[in-house]
Every structure is written in C-alpha cells, then in structure tokens.
Amino acid sequence: MNLLDKLMAVDVDAIPHDKISYDPQPVRLFKSDVLEFFTHVTPQAVLAVWLPVVVVFLAIGVLQWPATVSPVWFGAAFVFGAALLWTFLEYVLHRFLFHYTPRNRTEWQIIFLFHGVHHYQPHVKTRLVMPPAVSVPIALLFYLLFWIVLDMLLGAPHLIAPMFAGTVSGYIAYDMIHYATHHLPVKGPLMKFLKRHHMEHHFKTPDARFGVSTSFWDQVFHTLPADPQQHQR
C-alpha cells in the first residue's frame, strides 16, 4: 500500500479510465475532511485569489517601468502573456500533464486527482476550476522561469511584472470560460463555439481538442479533428 492508498477515499481501480458518472454527488477523493475540503473550489475563489495578484503585478510593473523604455512594450508584454503564453501553457498542461497516459496504478491515482475526476464527473461544479493548491505552485514555478529568462538571460527584468500579470489574467479567463462552458447558458458565436469544442473533448474526443479558451493551438498541433459536417457539404 502506497501513501495515496492511505490518503485517498476513492478506489481508482473501480473506475474505468473512459467512464463518465452523472451522479450529482461528488465522489469523495480523500479520507481526511481537511484534504477533501481543499478539493472543492468555486469560480469566486479563483477570482478572489488571482485578481489581486494581477492588480499587484500591474502596479509593480508601472512603478518600476524604466523611463527610457516605451510603454508600448508594457502592453505588448501583458498581451503576450495573456493571449499567447497562457494559451500555449493551457494547451501543453492539458494535453501532456492532465492527459498523461499512466503507466501504473500510482500514476493513475495522481492523474485522477489532477484531472481524471473532472472527466469522470464533468458536471460537478466544485471540481471544475483549478484548486489553489495546484495553481499556486504552478504559478510560482513559472514566475521563477520568467525571472531566469527575462532577467538573468535577457537582461529585461522590467518585463517580468506585466508578462506575469498577463499570464495570470489568461489563466483567470481560462477558468471562467471553462466554468461557463459547463454550467452557464452561453451567448454569441465565440462562446457557443468554445462550449461545443470543450463538450466534444469531454464526450467525443478526450484525446483531442485540448484548448479551452481557444482552439488555436489545437489547429497548430493538429489535435482538432475535422468536422464531419464539412465533408457533407
């Protein structure tokens, strides 16, 4: 028996990897009430934790921005972080980490805690957005990478704050879009497309359509299956 066997309440051996449960009662993940509490997160919690981070880093970026550097680069760094860097990270994390093919039971237990439970119970509202216990360490890791690349390697430490603020903003947008595609009536062609795109990931092609806030990287990396309706026209 490994450590996860001692901590986890759910028996992953009893859950086929492709099974979907429509039971409104969330499966219990941990025996400990404290650990179990932190597996349930609402969108409001994401906003409460991460919006202040965006505001703080934007303020730091503005206050520390060099007078000799055009403010255009501030906006460019923010947009790059939100629109390109985050969406790329979203795709890579979803495809290669959350949908990693486990080679043994322990790896399946870990994947189930990270993301498998969401595919097993996709309609459970409190198991949809990323828990801070996961998002905070990931954010710290990428801040460290920003510091290494932008400060130590490129000598542009002034870009760290706006790019980090942009990346966190992209993450917030991702979590809100993800929640909306599952639980809110969406309006407009963009949100309707994203909802269909993500629902097809869950219920038709779990090994494709990894983008949530955009299908751009699915198109780049050829994980966007052809629409059968296009071939019927």
Kindly list the distances between the CA atom of residue 110 and the CA atoms of 143, 149, 194, in Å, as whole numbers in the listed order: 24, 30, 28
Measured distance CA(22)–CA(20) in Å, rounded: 7
Average pLDDT over residues 129-145: 91
Confidence of residue 19 (pLDDT cuts 50, 70, 90): confident
Measured distance CA(99)–CA(119) in Å, rounded: 10
Instruction: Find residue 120's DSSP bridge partners.
Output: none
* pLDDT above 90 for 89: yes
* pLDDT above 70 for 229: no
Confidence of residue 233 (pLDDT cuts 50, 70, 90): very low
Measured distance CA(209)–CA(214) in Å, rounded: 10
* pLDDT above 90 for 2: no
Confidence of residue 231 (pLDDT cuts 50, 70, 90): very low
Q: What is the pLDDT of residue 17?
A: 78
Confidence of residue 130 (pLDDT cuts 50, 70, 90): confident
Q: What is the pLDDT of residue 1?
A: 65
Average pLDDT over residues 141-149: 96
> Does residue 101 contact residue 95 with C-beta atoms inside 8 Å?
no
Domains in the chain: boundaries: 3-231
The torsion angles phi and psi of 30, rounded to 5 degrees, stand at: -120, 150
DSSP secondary structure of the chain: --HHHHHB-S-GGGS-TT-----SSPPP-BSSHHHHHTT---HHHHHHHHHHHHHHHHHHHHHT--TTS-THHHHHHHHIIIIIIHHHHHHHIIIIIIT---SSHHHHHHHIIIIIHHHHSTT-GGGSSPPHHHHHHHHHHHHHHHIIIIIIITS-GGGHHHHHHHHHHHHHHHHHHHHHHHHS---SHHHHHHHHHHHHHHHT-TTS---SS-SHHHHHTT-SPPPHHHHT-
* pLDDT above 80 for 228: no
b/e burial code for range 208-221 (CB count within 10 A of at least 16 → b): ebbbbbbbebbeee
Average pLDDT over residues 154-164: 97
Average pLDDT over residues 146-158: 96
